[in-house]
Chain A
Amino acid sequence: MNFDFSSEDRMIQEQVRRFLSEQSPLSRHRSVMEGESLQASDVWQGLADLGLQGTAIPEAYGGVGAGYLPLCLVAQELGGVLAAVPFSSSVYLATEAITCFGSTDQKERYLPKLASGEWVGTLAVSEGPHAPSPTNLTVVRSGDRLSGKKLVVPHGLAADFAVVLVSSDAGTDLVLAGLEGVERSAVEIVDPSIAAATIDFAQTQCESLGEPGDGWAMLETVQHRAAVLYAFEQIGGAEQALNMAVAYAKERFAFGRPIGSFQSLKHMMADMYVALKLAESNAYYAAWALQNDAPDLGLAAATARVSATQAFQLCARDNIQVHGGMGFTWAFDCHLFYRRSNYLSLALGGLNEWENKLVDALPSAVA
């Protein structure tokens, strides 16, 4: 037994951290958020130069083949700087979907381009202000054509193709659809840095991913695997939000003393630390379960997801509280974390959904 990442994994993490601290400061996030560019394409290219999009993609398909453990640590670093790149959608979702369910031909066509960062993929599931289910999908697939509207496709404006959840004669399918020429429009969401889109498919060409009719089950598999990686982004973000709060509380004086010496604030930050620590430990276990396809991956992923969502939401929220009025200004970075924490907690379905997945995965009670 060894419950820590290897020094090789940590070296990759360190390399990513150095790169991001130079190339992806929060000001870079802000420029994307304020509309100067769609995504931080220079950061995306830099990550590609380091081979990071292909971290877990097998070498046979143009990846590094280093597995999921280093990818988890990459996710943690990206989460910490709120990187404005489509990494989560492209790597954790689209790449995973094709790796798990693509035919050899599909893997050969897609994975090398995903690994090199040349293509950006995304996953299109949501259709409106309600949780999707196998019975309420309005995007329909008929043969190799796709029609209907997906609302809030993360990184939908930046993506070259999408894995789309659709309704079909077989029930629910996953399909691959190129997005060139497809009508897309920007949709404003709480986190403007993720280039969210409405995509209007009109007789768009598509091909099946996996077996028709298996769409919902495949979606759940992909989301469980992605949940582990999202959890690392979330703990990365939570950690930075906590660091910001602590740094500010040491610096800012009121009533003749640093506000960090008041127990009301100390205890708030101690609770942030506790939530973070629990989430981090659950994410570590889930990383191992993902890498080893452990039988309890479902439970481990849901547990990591619930803890990480709780931790980032708490840290982002109370970071604003520690900053007082300044924390509610546009100029301070607190709201960037608050926005991102809300995006990440809904990106794969909300907390309530994951609580249910967790309880369903629990081994039965020992009475």
Chain B
Amino acid sequence: MDFSDTAAETDFRQTARAWIQDNAPTYLAAPLSGSGFGSTRTGDFDPIAEAKKWQKTKAEAGWACIQWPKEYGGRGATPIESVIWSQEEGIYGKLSGTFIIGQGMCAPTMMAYAGEEAKLRYLPKLASGEEIWCQLFSEPHGGSDLAGLRTKAVKDGDTWVINGQKIWTSGAQHSDYGILITRTDSDVAKHRGLTMFFLDMKSDGVDIRPIKQANGDSGFNEVFFDNVRIPDAQRLGEVGDGWKVALTTLMNERLAIGGSIATGFPEIQALVSELVLASGPASGDQAVRSKLADWYAKSAGLKNTGARAISALSKGEIPGPENSIGKLVAGGMMQDIAKFAVDLQGLGGLVTDPEIARSQAQIQSMLMRSPAVRIEGGTDQILRNIIAERVLGLPEDMRADKGIAFSQIPTSQDSGTR
């Protein structure tokens, strides 16, 4: 066991650090430090344009998606080097939010299932940020019950015709491509009738409508498909194997999110260090200290768990469902921290104007965004089920849809056609 760098790792770290010093957009450091989860603050600059610019700068020097093979736009780096890179990239890593879904989830799926020609065409541009990808999975009738999805794909010659609707698609409005899971057979059990594709988001018949969220932002979208045609060459995996392909995406999702997930700890620590309560400095208050210790222990636990996953990965082990704990812990923690932080500031803690509230209203935006963290990419409840069933081996819940054709599964009255 050794938590310090080897000589080679030290070299790598120094090379990365020097390059970042020379090339990072230092003019964004101040606004970026006020970014909360789900909101990237870039001051007077356009966040998407700045994200693309930094990504392109990195790609040209070989610092984008460094774990990917070189021919796909990466650097062929090891998992440990990738950790070192993100430690060194630090605050500028917050600019990568726009690309997380494409690079962290779509790309591994493409690497596993797309043909060589497609990989060479799409992956380098995904790495360089020239093209943004999204993941079209959830539907109004299939969120936690993802395999209950209804968007249909019907074969017509060499193409597939898609009709239906997706929802909660992060970043669809900025995306050039997406991976899409569809139902190709309603007469078999629900997990067996699914097929995965990738598609051009500018295709005829794709209609993207941003959703106004509870926090007032619009990061998520509804995406409607009206006779959208996708070439069969853009199918990922066999017809009917879509569930298996989706699991590749989801497993990488938990790893992508779990490794570096925001918890809110640095934010609450900063607040506590400067806030004075009626009873004296917040940092001396016993209740505050007790919470701080608990949250630090959890965030350190997540960080160290991530480090162990990286070690396992380095030895060629495949990351398993145990990585589900990252988002489960961080989501609830962020919500608790934001609530506690607002409480400490009294009524003034409710001010959301970034000009007035401390740290550009970072805490307040965490408060309003955190409920979604506990839902997106697997709800707290689904993640607990995964841990219970797939890690601890507890028996499945009794299910009303087991072993029957999708078209015969009981559903709510107003739920439309399948």
Contacts and interface: CB of A to CB of B under 8 A. Distances in A.
Contacts of A306: 293-294, 297
B296 A274 contact: no
A64 interface: no
B266 interface: yes
Contacts of B272: 365
B381 A3 contact: no
A319 interface: no
Given A1-B80, A278-B305, A359-B293, A367 B273 contact: yes
B1 A2 contact: yes
Given A277-B322, A279-B301, A281-B305, A261 B292 contact: no
B292 A359 contact: yes
Contacts of A366: 266, 270
B387 interface: yes
A273 B391 CA distance: 9
Interface residues of A, number: 54
A367 B392 CA distance: 41
B172 interface: no
Interface in B368-414: 381, 383-385, 387-389, 391-398
A270 B322 CA distance: 10
27 contacts: A1-B3, A1-B4, A1-B6, A3-B304, A4-B1, A242-B392, A261-B395, A261-B397, A261-B398, A262-B397, A267-B381, A267-B384, A269-B392, A270-B392, A274-B328, A277-B322, A278-B305, A281-B308, A282-B300, A285-B304, A288-B1, A288-B3, A292-B4, A306-B293, A307-B298, A356-B293, A359-B289
Contacts of B383: 270
A271 B328 CA distance: 10
A310 B300 CA distance: 14
Contact of A3 (B292, B310, B388, B391): B310
Given A281-B301, A358-B293, A6 B384 contact: no
A273 B3 contact: no
- Do most interface residues of chain B lie in helix, strand or loop, or is the interface mixed? helix
Given A281-B304, A281-B307, A250 B395 contact: yes
Given A278-B301, A366-B270, A284 B292 contact: no
B101 interface: no
Contacts of B314: 2
Instruction: Rank and list the top 6 A-B pairs by shortest CB-CB distance, nearest first.
Output: A278-B301, A355-B293, A281-B304, A266-B388, A270-B384, A270-B387
A287 interface: yes
Contacts of A310: 294, 297
B289 to A, nearest CB: 5
B274 interface: yes
Contacts of B305: 277-278, 281
B83 interface: yes
A263 interface: yes
A286 B368 CA distance: 35
B289 A278 contact: no
Q: How many residues of B sit at the interface, in one of the four size bands?
A: 35 or more
From A6, A257, A266, A352, name the one whose CB has the most chain B CB atoms within 10 angstroms: A266
B329 interface: yes
B395 A258 contact: yes
B302 interface: yes
B321 to A, nearest CB: 11
Nearest to B304: A281
Contacts of B311: 1-4
A6 B388 contact: no
A249 B392 CA distance: 11
Interface string A280-320: 01101101110110100000001100110010000000000
Nearest to A266: B388
A147 to B, nearest CB: 35
B301 A277 contact: yes
Contacts of B328: 274
A5 interface: yes
Contacts of A274: 325, 328-329, 387
Nearest to B271: A365
B297 A282 contact: yes
B296 to A, nearest CB: 6
A135 interface: no
B60 interface: no
Interface string A183-202: 00000000000000000000
A246 interface: yes
A278 B297 contact: yes
A3 B308 contact: yes
Interface of A: 1-6, 9, 69, 242, 246, 249-250, 257-258, 260-263, 266-267, 269-271, 273-274, 277-279, 281-282, 284-285, 287-289, 291-292, 294, 302-303, 306-307, 310, 352, 354-356, 358-359, 362, 364-367
Contacts of A261: 394-398
B286 to A, nearest CB: 8
B415 interface: no
A356 B283 CA distance: 11
A2 B79 CA distance: 11
A258 to B, nearest CB: 5
Nearest to B298: A278
A4 B289 contact: no
A266 B389 contact: yes
A267 B325 CA distance: 12
Contact of A1 (B5, B395, B397): B5
B11 interface: no
Nearest to A300: B300
Contacts of B227: none
B1 A6 contact: yes
B297 A307 contact: yes
Contacts of A249: 394
B290 interface: yes
B304 A282 contact: yes
Interface in B304-331: 304-305, 307-308, 310-312, 314, 322, 325, 328-329
A249 B389 CA distance: 12
Given A261-B395, A366-B266, A307 B301 contact: yes
Nearest to B392: A246
Given A261-B398, A273-B392, A358-B296, A1 B2 contact: yes
Given A278-B298, A303-B300, 18 more contacts: A1-B3, A1-B307, A3-B307, A4-B311, A242-B392, A249-B394, A261-B398, A263-B384, A277-B305, A281-B301, A281-B305, A284-B304, A288-B2, A288-B3, A306-B294, A354-B293, A359-B293, A366-B270
A7 B107 CA distance: 34
B269 interface: yes
B3 A3 contact: yes
